[in-house]
Structure 1
Amino acid sequence: MIPADRTLIVVTPVFEDREASARLFQELAAQFPQGLFVLAVDDGSVRQPLDIDSLRAAGVQGAVLRLRRNVGHQRAIAIGLAHACESLQDHQRVVVMDSDGEDLPATMPALLQGLDDAEVDVVVAQRKRRVETLRFKAFYAIYKRFFRLMTGRPIAFGNFMALKAAAARRLVAMQELSIHVAGAVLGSRLRTRACPLDRGPRYAGQSKMNFVGLVLHGFKGLMVFAEDVLVRVGIACGLIAGAALAGIVAAVLLKLAGYSTPGWFSVALGLLVLMLLQTGALALMTLMLTGVVRGGTVTTAIGYRDFVAAVIPTHPADDADRA
């Protein structure tokens, strides 16, 4: 349970990264000496399970939410937010950040300042400078353009964000949150403001996310907008099928007019008919799948408790008194 006197709640997932997370807790304590509560979600770590002593050594009040198994970065954030929202009050603010140091505690005041505006629900970090490889930067640039083409929405932020209490509760009610946090924010229709911030280097160790994992994470963002993607693919297939049909008519007219060379008509007609059949079938399939996706969407709460093995607070005596 989060005490009412804590005004800032930080939710951070940790997976086999005890050294980096310990440094994060120290920097958070230095940046916010008062009113801080850290909810660290141990995402099924085996080699380096997160110890509550890391928070206590940093002088931070909070809790370790230990999961039964590894559920992935995005679902770990969703579970942490769901747990926090059970006792979250309207005056409290929530910050979601990574535990490896790439999300800098020193930049958090700029995020939180944006929440002072009554017309803003979420402030997201938009990266000005990245400490990444050239391959990652190239892939990310291509992904952003592909995402906008397929969904009609721009995406230029990740998990580092600040939320008002009402915004956090709204996100927790969305099934998409456990799939892709940034995508859920885009789909939530919350009033969002971007805050340009630099990305820091890792405190220690190596990233657990490989290139395949990054690609999978990117496609999960598209899954949040499955309806939009399917409709756009269906429309594109319909246009191609229409162009193939027009080509068939043109080929037949050229043949009848005697302008086609020997063998040209049969090859062109065969290719165009094949294109028409394939794209037409694909267009119908995508439109049918759109109906299935829309009809299968139901509103259910995230059953996060099934994944939680233990909640270990830094001040167990205080929690016992409140209980």
Structure 2
Amino acid sequence: MTVGLGRLVVVMPVYEDVEASSRLFKELARTQGPQTYVVAVDDGSVRQPVDPAAISAAGLEGVVIKLRRNVGHQRAIAIGLGYVAEHFGDDQRVVVMDSDGEDTPESITELVQGLDAPDVDVVVATRKSRVETMRFRAFYVVYKWLFALLSGRKISFGNFMAIKMAGVRRLAAMQELWTHVAACVLSSKLRVTTCALNRGPRYAGRSKMNFVGLALHGFRALMVFAEDVLVRVGIACTLVAGLSILGGVVALVLKAIGVATPGWFSLAAGILLLVFLQTAALTLIILMLSGMMRGGGVLLSGSYRDFVAEVLHARPE
């Protein structure tokens, strides 16, 4: 199946959120027009499964991809992009967004316009303003600093993005997409630009992501750059080991010239020896893990189908 040339394809994960997603379908039709094609990935919903009739009632065409089980927000997006990469033509523009309304349909126009530049493959949304608790803001600042320190990259965006089809196919072939979408975009070497947008309020209900889930989501981004993180930690351990050796030499010199107090040299030498042995062992383990992680990184075509129970098509009423 190939949809009409130049149509906008919107991929969204939906989990137990029929009210918000149904309103989003209508807002997409109102703001982006009836030519918008919806790919809604129902992430194993039991109480409120997505009905393709909700897409039809909004006057849109699309599909509901029902998954065999709940796989999580990021994997649901990966499955949706895998489906799009296999079934859609090269002239489509693809938007990834959440289904709760916080990624506003009105912003899609500005987001997609960035793809008109020939040297841009992906346009990601950064936030002009946020309405979160102080705890979340503090955690987010610390997380961005930690991410930059360990990976050597800056991350300031989430899942709301517009992608050319060539970029979709590249991302769909990367196993990192199943771990963390934004981090995968960073590691893909695609040409990325940013678009500052306001965050909207949820249409209905409450977010199912708690603080622990957000923390896990953040650390999964580091998993995408695990090799870089391991190397940087290994370098830090090597430096600490080197400093412990230097400290041992200084302690030995102080002992030789009679400056050290009784018992001080033995205590300092013992502590420095333990530091050296631990950091040296950790460095060797990190180097071995780094070597084991090399290779692979490409998914087999159509691997997303293993998670799909059925694909339900929707036609405008």
Class of the TM-score when normalised by the shorter of the 2 chains: over 0.9
- Partner residue of 2:199? 199
Q: Deviations over 1:164-218 (max 9, x none)?
A: 0100000000000010000110000000000011111111111111111111111
- Partner residue of 1:294? 294
- Partner residue of 2:76? 76
Q: C-alpha displacement at 1:266, in angstroms?
A: 1.1
TM-score by length of 1: 0.95
CA distance in structure 1 between the partners assigned to 2:2 and 2:16 by the alignment: 25
Letter of the 2:173 counterpart: A
Say whether residues 1:230 and 2:230 are aligned partners: yes
Letter of the 1:84 counterpart: V
Letter of the 1:49 counterpart: P
- Across the aligned residues of Structure 1 and Structure 2, the Cα RMSD in angstroms comes to 1.4
Q: C-alpha displacement at 1:11, in angstroms?
A: 0.1
Contact in 2 for aligned 1:75/1:178 (Cα 8 Å):
yes
Task: Summarize the alignment of residues 192-271 of structure 1 with structure 2, pairs less than 5 Å apart.
Answer: 192-271=192-271
CA distance in structure 1 between the partners assigned to 2:52 and 2:217 by the alignment: 29
- Partner residue of 2:281? 281
Letter of the 2:232 counterpart: R
- Partner residue of 2:189? 189
Letter of the 1:158 counterpart: G
Letter of the 1:92 counterpart: Q
Contact in 1 for aligned 2:122/2:164 (Cα 8 Å):
yes
TM-score by length of 2: 0.97
- Partner residue of 1:106? 106
- Partner residue of 1:36? 36
Structure 2, unpaired ranges of 5+: none
Q: Deviations over 1:129-157 (max 9, x none)?
A: 11222111111111111100001000000
Q: Deviations over 1:52-84 (max 9, x none)?
A: 121111111111110010000000000001111
Q: 1:2 to 1:42 in 2, by over 3 A?
A: farther
CA distance in structure 2 between the partners assigned to 1:165 and 1:24 by the alignment: 23
Task: Summarize the alignment of residues 46-125 of structure 1 with structure 2, pairs less than 5 Å apart.
Answer: 46-125=46-125
CA distance in structure 1 between the partners assigned to 2:163 and 2:206 by the alignment: 29
Q: C-alpha displacement at 1:243, in angstroms?
A: 0.3
Q: Percent identity of the aligned residues?
A: 61
Q: C-alpha displacement at 1:30, in angstroms?
A: 0.2
Specify the SS of the correspondent of 1:159.
coil
Letter of the 1:81 counterpart: L
CA distance in structure 2 between the partners assigned to 1:143 and 1:77 by the alignment: 23
- Partner residue of 1:321? none
CA distance in structure 2 between the partners assigned to 1:157 and 1:234 by the alignment: 28
Specify the SS of the correspondent of 1:156.
coil
Letter of the 1:53 counterpart: A
Q: C-alpha displacement at 1:4, in angstroms?
A: 2.3
Specify the SS of the correspondent of 1:86.
helix
Contact in 2 for aligned 1:10/1:39 (Cα 8 Å):
yes
- Partner residue of 2:24? 24
Contact in 1 for aligned 2:61/2:314 (Cα 8 Å):
yes
Aligned residues: 316
CA distance in structure 1 between the partners assigned to 2:74 and 2:188 by the alignment: 16
Q: Which range moves more in the overlay, 211-220 or 116-125?
A: 211-220
Specify the SS of the correspondent of 1:30.
helix
Structure 1, unpaired ranges of 5+: 317-323
Letter of the 1:247 counterpart: G
Task: Summarize the alignment of residues 139-218 of structure 1 with structure 2, pairs less than 5 Å apart.
Answer: 139-218=139-218
Say whether residues 1:135 and 2:135 are aligned partners: yes
Specify the SS of the correspondent of 1:41.
strand
Q: C-alpha displacement at 1:90, in angstroms?
A: 1.6
Contact in 2 for aligned 1:2/1:84 (Cα 8 Å):
no
Letter of the 1:315 counterpart: R
Letter of the 2:170 counterpart: R
Q: C-alpha displacement at 1:315, in angstroms?
A: 2.9
Letter of the 1:299 counterpart: V
Letter of the 1:191 counterpart: R
CA distance in structure 1 between the partners assigned to 2:297 and 2:153 by the alignment: 23
